Amino acid sequence: MPHKITLTGSATGPLREYDRYVAFDMREKGSPSAPKGLKKSTFISYTVFVAKKAFNKTGLTKKSIMHEKILIQGEPTLDIPIDECPGEVGVICFQITVLPNKNDKEKNQPEEKKEPKQEASASPEAPQKTESKKQEEAQAPVSQPVAKEEKKNAETVLPEAKETPVQEKKAVPQQKLLPTRPKGTQDVVSFDEIIVPEAFLKTRPNPEKTQKVIDFVKRTGHLDEPLTIDKGSKVLKDGYRRYIVAETLKMDKVPVVYEYQT
């Protein structure tokens, strides 16, 4: 029997389209604790392959797949070219399901529950207030209820004045300016102009370190270090891992440092 695999989470890389299928990357962390005497497990990166018909039925798009939580059921495979499968393990998907967002349900439930509670709390207080007013009008002179109504109006105004500064504090966002280029960048060139030697193409960088660079680009919007190229020929000299990250994330331009030949 073939081994079955189940993955849950969101895509960690952009959607790639082929003739009859689409592919995207996912990853899962290992258990935080391991049996005594064994090393802790680390995360594993997967590349999921889904038929276009099955993918179109989910309603997912290139943008939403990065944010929606999905369930993948399929079988692992290692018979995939490296160019199409940057993950450590390839997964042939037999079923893909979009999982509901729990945050949306939690936000809607308290609003629905608050309305009946407010109506229920308002109903018992109303007859108590009317009875107390009748007793006060029968016992006290006409001038006293007028003074009491003014006090009540003053009490209702006070909480409104207290709530306004709280809302104003929440509305003020704190934005931090992030750098657009990594340190040491000398120039920004088009990704298509860079020429990769065959010696780099025959190697495969460490998937864990590559995933860290991908996460850094998603968080900051730029590479963590510039690529080193020859200024005249635009041949890549160093930074092949960042070249793969730029290719995976479809970056139009990349930061570079020139290596001058003497």
Q: What is the domain-level CATH number for residue 64? A: 2.40.50.1040
Residue 171 has pLDDT above 60, yes or no: no
Structure tokens at 138: 């029968």
pLDDT of 110 reads 55
The count of domains in the chain is 2
Range 33-42 burial, b when 16+ CB lie within 10 A, else e: eeeeeeeeee
Domain boundary among 102, 120, 147: 102
Domain boundary among 102, 129, 157: 102
Burial class (CB in 10 A: 0-12, 13-18, 19+), 183: exposed
Residue 11 vs residue 106, higher pLDDT: 11
Which candidate, 48, 100, 52, 57, places its Cα nearest to that of 75? 48
Give the integer Cα–Cα distance in Å for 22 and 190: 26
In a domain, 125, yes or no: no
Domain boundary among 71, 102, 133: 102
pLDDT of 199 reads 87
Residue 104 has pLDDT above 70, yes or no: no
Each residue of 57-98: pLDDT tens digit? 888 888 888 888 888 899 988 777 767 888 888 889 999 998
Least confident range from 29-33, 80-84, 193-197, 215-219: namely 29-33
In a domain, 165, yes or no: no
What's 201's domain CATH number?
Answer: 3.90.1530.10
- Domain boundaries, position 212: 187-259
- Contact at 8 Å (CB) between 185 and 253? no
In a domain, 134, yes or no: no
Global pTM reads: 0.39
pLDDT of 232 reads 86
